Structure 1
């Protein structure tokens, strides 16, 4: 049986999915622990052995891969004004599947320069100034970066009037020049930077992360795992030339270290007379919440949301919460069907992660009073009319109360200014195929779309 093999190198597990192209179906899936510290091929071969033991006549035709191993694609973004070029830089990095470690604004000082070195980013995105606008800040920041010991490649995506000067200052570094992420005030142009980030990932980071041996085996498609998930979300929402997608959607991806939210929707005001504030929102948007993971970031999640929120949601005592917090620090890969108390703890963490990550992703609406009456101002995306919500990630897939967890992504009457979906269909990616289908979509989009429609199951409809 000929198959395409789709590989996802995760921080904990290496997951493989075999697809039958002729029948547009998944043959099977398996996983094994990722072996980034020794030889990443060991974990891959272990996962393959499991898969082939279930399907002995399996013949691999092509292999595609994505990776979030060894910390994923760690980036630092530098801009001028926090709400403008710095925000544009952050969005460019997120759209490329990066994990944005820190965003810096204005002129870098000594302590910030030291912080960048301590972060040890894989890539630095340097922006600042509209075309023909402010030159001083990006030139200053280039000089600071030139003085650092960091070997991270630097992508220059700022004021085109000084890009050559910036390149000269950074001549001792590995640099890539691309189009300005904000050529005009309030105009976003992140595609050039996104492609540059991916190119650097392919050219350099693949080797630094121990994936070079794998690159020789696959068909040339390798990307950060979040990029693959984002590609799958876009495909499922928009469809292809041959087949329609399901329409506007939100993907809720809960993980051990982060909770990622992806939306495929315009997000324009759903009611008349509402003014928009801030940068234009991308149709396909990704946000990453590093303090809302349910394993490696569990302490940060509890700190962010408050112990009382978790006590209320999990219906456990504070002593039980503290006990399980310590337990998952030592056992971050722990999953169980038999421990009812731990199940409550896990449910509480996942619920708070979904509630707060979705809240941060969607827009808000405020009332401003003027001499002429009330004015409504929207910041971010209005997703109240989105009708498709898809849950993925181990903490959701393995949760017996996934319906309740995913309902946290819906509109809350107690927070009427937060523009979450009012109602809709809730689906679950029970086989964890989103990243795999994003990979498959690069070459076989129609097949990837067909498989997603068949495999992603409706579990709840909320009116």
Structure 2
């Protein structure tokens, strides 16, 4: 763009116009992109199944498709985020099954993880094989209350040190043996994060320190794109994990609205809840056992535990949930299956918001609720989203919190792209995108 400047008479000053941006989100199941013009206008949308064998192939295909649809003049700038790693698979090794199971669940909740294996007692070779076959992303190593005999913890640490198990080990056992267990594991090159005991006293569970450590491990896991052929280029292209982009988008919404915003991002493998604005600091919780594909089974299980799914509905939804979990690329083909899809999404949202509000202080009245995620994209209220909103409002735990609160649906896929734009200094474009295509 050329305009008259303050230079010599008759001269012009060239002001560079930023290029359009392709905002790309690599999910565990779908890779999505929008083309955003420099003024924040939405130029097009494209999606492609995430190519897990070579994630770059799906990324390239999505970028080509959205660029062709959007008709951008010139080469757009690529801004990318990723949660291709999906939920974090957590294995638990402890002394007794019941405390280990409870501890694993309490640590995993709201930290992006879900428990896939629990072992209690001394690890033997067959137990190590079973642990390895569970394909954990992290192993939580427990072992006795503080002051107990550290021998069981040290035995299991030695077994894990010698085993062909590569995931990081989160060491949160008996304080009397923790330093020695750490030394045993580090001696064979294991990646270890050590924290305070999850089971410090008989009958007590203190998940906080281990959960905080697990959140950090989830951040590294979620971005995905591992493998020698993929990693170098992927790391150059993708520097933001999707929850960070969505969190920044939520913060931009709170700034625009000058109030507290609660955002629920229902994905295939995780469901995230973000709150920003008001009197508190921005907060995020990530549920690794709630989603509409790989984690759909957790929705049904936790829905019954929370009392939001009765046994009759659980039986009716069970075949659909089994299909969702086994066919992660499944797309509803008729109105009935689409309604079941939305029902699972609504249940995931209710459970995730309940957990979020239990885990954090809301910090003032909520002024806006946003629903985002692929299940909500480009489907108006006439196509059934009103029932999702009604489920949130009618929940007995959430009803008082959400009474008279405006609920909007991110049907055009704007929040993560707005977060990417704002992260890269394009705050004006981010605000225009949110105002024009979400807030109306």
RMSD: 4.8
Change (3 A) 1:425 1:167: same
Instruction: Pick one of 378, 385, 389 that aligns with 1:406.
Output: 389
CA distance in 2, matches of 1:323, 1:84: 28
CA distance in 2, matches of 1:117, 1:226: 28
Change (3 A) 1:231 1:18: same
Deviations 1:97-144 (A, max 9, x none): x433358699776697565423212334557899x9889376565334
Change (3 A) 1:380 1:442: closer
Q: Which residue number in structure 1 is paired with residue 30 of structure 2? A: 13
Deviations 1:47-70 (A, max 9, x none): 12212212242413354331325x
Contact 2:345 2:375 in 1 (8 A): yes
Residue 32 of structure 1, CA deviation: 1.6
CA distance in 1, matches of 2:181, 2:318: 50
Pairs aligned (count)? 401
Residue 46 of structure 1, CA deviation: 1.6
Q: Are residue 121 (structure 1) and residue 136 (structure 2) matched? A: yes
CA distance in 2, matches of 1:143, 1:267: 48
Instruction: Pick one of 353, 357, 373 that aligns with 2:348.
Output: 353
Tell me, what secondary structure is at the counterpart of 2:45? strand
Identify which range, 190-199 or 420-429, moves more after superposition.
190-199
Q: Are residue 394 (structure 1) and residue 377 (structure 2) matched? A: no
Q: Which residue number in structure 2 is paired with residue 367 of structure 1? A: none
Contact 1:385 1:422 in 2 (8 A): no
Q: Which structure has the larger Rg over C-alpha atoms?
A: 2
Deviations 1:250-308 (A, max 9, x none): 2222334444434448999xxxxxxxxxxxxx961314163x53445556655643463
CA distance in 1, matches of 2:327, 2:215: 36
Q: Which residue number in structure 1 is paired with residue 431 of structure 2? A: 450
Instruction: Pick one of 163, 167, 181 that aligns with 1:152.
Output: 167
Q: Which residue number in structure 1 is paired with residue 12 of structure 2? A: none
CA distance in 1, matches of 2:365, 2:236: 44
Q: Which structure features the higher share of helix residues?
A: 2
Contact 1:259 1:357 in 2 (8 A): yes
TM-score, normalization by structure 2: 0.69
Deviations 1:147-180 (A, max 9, x none): 4321113355778886653332112133254665
Contact 2:261 2:367 in 1 (8 A): yes
Contact 2:88 2:288 in 1 (8 A): no
Q: Which residue number in structure 2 is paired with residue 334 of structure 1? A: 331
CA distance in 2, matches of 1:135, 1:265: 48
Residue 391 of structure 1, CA deviation: 0.4
Change (3 A) 1:67 1:200: closer
Tell me, what secondary structure is at the counterpart of 2:406? strand
Q: Which residue number in structure 1 is paired with residue 262 of structure 2? A: 250
Tell me, what secondary structure is at the counterpart of 1:410? helix
TM-score, normalization by structure 1: 0.66
Which runs of no fewer than 5 residues in structure 1 stay unpaired?
269-281, 312-317, 364-378
CA distance in 1, matches of 2:323, 2:343: 15
CA distance in 2, matches of 1:284, 1:108: 39
CA distance in 1, matches of 2:349, 2:402: 13
Contact 2:265 2:272 in 1 (8 A): yes
